[in-house]
Amino acid sequence: MTTTRASSGARPHPGGLTSLAGRPVARIGYGAMQLEHGADEPALAVLRRAVELGVDHIDTAEFYGAGRVNTHIRAALHPYPEHLVLAGKVGATSDPGGQYGLRPAQKPAELRSELEANLRTLGAERLDVVNIYPMCRTPGIPADQRVDFDDQLAELIALRDAGLLGGIGLSHVDADQLRHALPTGVVCVQNAYSLVDRSSEPVLDLCREHGIAWVPYFPLGSGFPELPKVADQRAVREVATRLGATPSQVGLAWVLTRGPRTLLIPGTRSIDHLEENLAAGDVVLDEEALEVLAALEG
């Protein structure tokens, strides 16, 4: 299979520029998970509009909608623009009977199989980044899925050496796991992190120390209804009103202040919401706003 990438001229960079796996990217990208649901044409329109507005980092996974999301990305954007960075995930696979429609797929052969499935549905020969969620410490995981972390890293290194991926990323890891994996050349970490959940600060500190990209998920609070949301916080709403922004924009702008290697991948099925998210890169939080937001319990 031959994959070509279309060239492009000057383009905007929402949130400014940083790098991921040695590639220049805008600091605000797009997380494609929400495209699991809804009609096809709106999904394609959101993806195309995102790239028009400067998004050049799309985060996806084969297990999002059992390949449906990757199929949308391919239909909307293939042949991929030369500047577009595609990041995928391995460590789980689709299972309609499993929790959240997934089951663990942690064995080295399963990691390879999931990567190959991503490549097939995306119509790509290589993913720029592949993130793994190592579940060796996850409560309730089946015994045969408690795979040694070093074995998983060795498989990802082999896949990188084979040219099937550009950089290795980690997800759902603590500082000890990240420190252990540093010799593999980790390019990014994806943990939950927001104004209302700062439990991963030690991991963020380690990323800063080693120049690793920080790509938090749930930047506006957990997607689970019982957990706090950034936009519901009174302090956030007051700052937003004073600055003429939305509460969500304030929450995203705050995450961007956490360091120059911080990237955002907010997801949405709405073009209006997409444009609102990307405009968060233009929101400037003054000292008063930063002091107010720092006082929130995270």
The catalytic residues are: 64
CA nearest 89: which of 44, 131, 47?
131
Beta pairing partners, 81: 6
- Cis check for the bond before 79: say yes or no (omega within 30 of 0): yes
Strand order in the sheet with 213-214: 30-31, 57-59, 85-90, 127-132, 165-171, 186-190, 213-214
Task: List, in sequence order, every beta strand (DSSP E) within the chain.
Answer: 5-6, 17-20, 23-26, 30-31, 57-59, 80-81, 85-90, 92-94, 102-104, 127-132, 165-171, 186-190, 213-214
Beta pairing partners, 58: 30, 86
Cβ proximity of 266 and 275 under 8 Å: no
At residue 59's C-alpha, the angle toward residues 224 and 120, to 5°, is 120
Cβ proximity of 196 and 175 under 8 Å: no
DSSP string, 251-277: HHHHHHTT-TTB-B----S-HHHHHHH
Beta pairing partners, 129: 87, 167
Burial, 108: exposed, middle or buried (Cβ in 10 Å; 0-12, 13-18, 19+)? middle
